[in-house]
């Protein structure tokens, strides 16, 4: 499991989340724990992950909101890069 920490800023967009998931994968399965500083930040990460599901980039198996982080586990769908 890879812990993600973005020191540049506290906001994350869909592309940054997808890059983090690709870096956290082993094969096509990813497991990523992202620290969130506020409840709104955690909800934003969940919304971005759901957007990636709708776009067909990932299949999300598990999305767990923890006290200080959010845990994502799933499959990256392969496409030409």
Question: What are the residue boundaries of the structural domains of the chain, listed by start?
Answer: 2-76
Q: CA 53, CA 65: separation in Å to the nearest integer?
A: 17
pLDDT for position 11: 58
Give the count of beta carbons closer than 10 Å to the beta carbon of residue 35.
Answer: 16
* pLDDT beyond 90 at 27: no
What mean pLDDT comes out for the span 3-32?
74
The whole-number pLDDT of residue 23 equals: 85
State whether CATH 3.20.80.10 applies to domain 2-76.
no
Check pLDDT > 50 for residue 5: no
Q: What is the pLDDT of residues 48-77, one digit of tens each?
A: 999 999 999 999 999 999 888 999 999 998
């Amino acid at each position: 499991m890879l812990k993600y920490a973005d020191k540049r800023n506290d906001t994350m967009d869909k592309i940054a989340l997808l890059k983090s998931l690709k870096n956290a994968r082993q094969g096509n399965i990813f497991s990523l724990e992202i620290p969130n500083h506020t409840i709104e930040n955690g909800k934003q990460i969940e919304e971005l992950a759901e957007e990636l599901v709708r776009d067909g980039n990932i299949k999300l198996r598990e999305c767990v909101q923890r006290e200080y982080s959010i845990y994502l586990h799933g499959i990256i769908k392969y496409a030409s890069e």
